[in-house]
Structure 1
Amino acid sequence: MEELFNKLLQVNVRCKDCDERKANIRVAIELQLTTSPVHKKDLLVRLTDDADPYFLFRLSISEEDFQSLKVQQGLLIDFSSFPQKFIDLLNLCMSEQESDSPRFLLQLLCQAPALDSSATFSVVETNAFKHLNHLSLRLLQGTDKEIKDYLVVCLSSLKGEKQTLEIKLKKTEDDLSRQLSYTQQTLSEKTRELDKLRSEWTSQTSSLSSRHSQDMMSEREKALEVQTRLQQQNEQLRLELESAHKKSTSQLQSKVSELETSNRELTERKYKNESTIRDLTIKVAGAEEECQRSKQQILSLRRENGTLDAECHEKERLVSQLQMRIAVLEQEIKDKDQLMCRTKEVLEATQQQKESVEGHAESKELQIRKLDATVKSLSEELIKANSIIKNLQGELRGLLGKIKVKNTVTVSQEKVLQETSEKLQNTKKELQDAQQQLVTKDELVSKLKEQLETTVQKLNESREVLKTNENVISWLNKQLNEKQLSRTPQGPESFETPSVLPGTAGLRAQFQPKPGVPLMKAVDISPFEQCTMQPASTHSREPAGLESKYFEKRDDSIPLHGLLSNLQQKEFSQRASKHSLPSAYFSA
């Protein structure tokens, strides 16, 4: 047995239907080592009252019990460091028990009207918001045998203390008697010495008083001589100071006359300077007026210069626009030849992509079916777990009823009570395990649901891609057929193209392949080809068949040269005719 803590602490005791009271209770913490069959450590917690010998509550915590306590109360420490942390909490309570509003409190709660059954010993931290329960231990009241053992231990310790006190008393009596005899002897000796010292002191005081009177007379004579000398010296100093004072006053008067003359000269200079300052201020005001006039002239000249610069810029802009038109017309003629070969390549690539996307969609459908089967199996397992929990709860209720009946039985059936408490703890552990399994299964179900959602989203995206690809293929087929039909010789007006939507200089169709599908070449469609490839009938107003994601710019796409800006499109109007298409590049 190793005693770790044994101190008196102030505890708030509360019973059922009773007022709360404060009591001084001794808290003892001991570490017990058991060697059979395996070396184990058990922590013993014992509460006793020095005033009440029948007050005994105890609890033994093994490593296995600590694990269940750790799970129940959410502790973050191991069994090895638990005793020290518990002792630290008790020391905190002891340090603050004398304050008016202590932060840490010890509470002993009992469900019975008196302290006759088990009680919970808890360490509580109080703040402005709530009471935080750091640790709560369920202590059992000591049996008759344990109380007798405790009283025997108390008696043996009291007897030991009594014997030690009696031995100490005898030793102190012997020491005191020896000290008394020794002090009496020393007292008699000291009184003799005192008498001798008194006689010597009287003789010395008489001789010293006579000497002192003689010294006083001699010192008085010396003091009179010193006073006469000091008076003579003071008269000499006074005469010297008077002569020095007269000289200094004559010098100061001469200085005052000189300063008055200089002051007159300075006042005359001051008046002259003030007159000159007035003349200069008049001149400065005239100069400022001239400066403001010159500033206004400068501002007018700057405005004229700005208008001239703007006219120059406009003329230069018109020249650059005309040059851009010429370059665009030349580039469009070159791009028409390249577009036909690109459209053929795009058709072949879209057909390959369609086949690969169909295979990918079939594999995703198989995965979704598998996931549905796993979700059904998990739901069945959850139903089984719920039924197991209900059975365990019924068993718990039955066990609690048995415990209430067995509490009325005599002391001889306490062993049966211990067995039932062990069964209860086992069932509680099984309940906690089942709840943990439930939580893990719920997490699994949520993860599977997330996977289902992601797969469904991917399926929808793949289906959308398929639809857009089919639309693109049908649109390109239509354009190719119309291109072949319209290859007859045309006039110069047939090369005009419709105006492009503001903000888009030309359509750029790009196809991004899925993994496992060969990369396709991006096709850039200029505004001219876009208008020529549209169907002849404009009354139907069908959509072009391409989504907005195919118009995004990519690094691997082939750019068109000579695209017009929005400003150029606004400057030139559209031309409309019955047999030819409108153009965005030719002026009206």
Structure 2
Amino acid sequence: MEELFSEVLQVNVRCRDCEERKANIRVTIDLQLTTSPVHKKDLLVRLTDDIDSYFLFNLTISEEDFQSLKAQQGLLIDFASFPQKFIDLLNLCYSEQKAEHPRFLLQLSCQSPLLEGPINFSVVETNAFKHLNHLSLRLAQGSDKEVKDYLALCLSSLKVEKQALEMRLKKTEDDLSRQLSYAQQTLSEKSKELEKLRSEWMSQSNSLSSRHSLELQSEREKTVELQNRLQQQTEQLRQELESAHRKSSQQLQSRLTELEASCRELTERKYKNESVIRDLKVKLVGAEEECQRSKQHILSLRRENSTLDTEVHDKERLVSQLQMRVAVLEQEIKDKDQLMRRTKEVLEATQQQKESVEENAESKELQIRKLEAAVKSLSEELIKANGIIKKLQGEVRSLIAKIKVKNSVTVSQEKVLQDTSEKLQNVEKDLQSVQQQLITKDAQVSNLKEQLESTVQKLNESREVLKTNENVISWLNKQLNEKQLSRKQQTPEALENPSVLSTTMGLRAHFYPQTGKPATSPGPDVNVTPLEQRAVPPLNRQNGDSAGLDSKYFERRDDSIPIYGLSSHPYRDFNTQAKPSKASAYFSA
């Protein structure tokens, strides 16, 4: 038995005393070869319905039957090419069944009102003139034995599909369990790597902050020196430009006198030429037209000459000015390039370290995204498996209902049907167990997703902490630089007047806040009068108000990163003797 065609096609069904309706019917064409007692070929045409299992119509066409069919319907082909031509017609009907006005139709007509007995199956081509019937086959309804054989064949195919699905489910379960174990291992490894990276990042940020403060001090000193040099250079350039401007103005004045003299000469020549032209007009009356043309040409050339002279002078003047400006700008660019190279070297060193930390964080994020994608693919596969199981359950239930109906007709097959129903119940139990296992797998996948979300949230929190620490570092560096500049200006007054020194020390004590404890008073060794002690808190309050930093940046946190090396200044000895302070969360003692 060789299957040539099997497809669900849309068929127009016509029954007696009923309206025409459309139905989806599966058309199957098989080629049956028989060798005993005579070698011959038979073409088997079967009409079935996937919804109604009892809908079965068969037709067997042998070579003798085809000869009579050929004579009746005027066919022009032989039996060998008939199956392929018939399949081509069915394919044309299949391709046009979704169109609004299909050209090829399939019609099923029956004399009884309930599709019983023999039916006519026709392939019809429609046009504006008539309906052309290409082929009409008369099919007989399947007997009880044929229906039983067909149902047994469907049941065996369902069993084979069920076994294949069970194998696929087992395979997917094994793959999912393997992938889950691998994902758990990778998660544990990545968490360890995160902890290690966090510790390394803390040490690197501490070293970078100390190094950055030292480099900022050196860069500020260099910028002051460069500003002084630039002022001197600008003064020299201004003087040089003034002298060059005077020289260029003198040269332009002399050039202007020369141009005036040349203009006078040209006007004299013009008058002489006009007198000569008048004489020539009197003598040569026939050549007046040529003289007028030459005169117009000479006038246009003179105008162009004068305009070209003026343009040349203007361009020479612009070229001299641009050359001076280019020389000045080149000198400025060279000086600025040197500055930029020095600053770039410092910035590149810091950026390289920062980029290495960011690359490590990005690699961790990529790994987390890959894990999320794997979990999503697992969930999609589980959803597909659930859909397949539900479809199988529906098919099994429909089979049970059909078998129960058949039991009322065929009493002799009750035992066989009971066995099949018990087997189907076992299959349903197996399917329920598989569904429970899938539910447990879904729960495990949701737990993994929650773990991934928690790790991502921790990463985001660490990034926010890093940003806040960088803002605090930049603000504190700015405040330290301002304090150091003010102290450099106040050093001679502080050495002579101890009250000024006490106020500066009070400012420093307020600059390093401590949560939960008030600022300690100066020790007994420091010579501070009560009036000076009263003067210190307002200064500290004023300094704290002008700073404008929110108190949340000075709160102690478990996941915060201490910053060292920012409290170095020229009057450290005075501060340590005057006011011993406790270690802060952001500054070293």
Larger radius of gyration: 1
Q: TM-score, length-normalised on structure 2?
A: 0.37
The structure where helix makes up a greater share of residues is 2
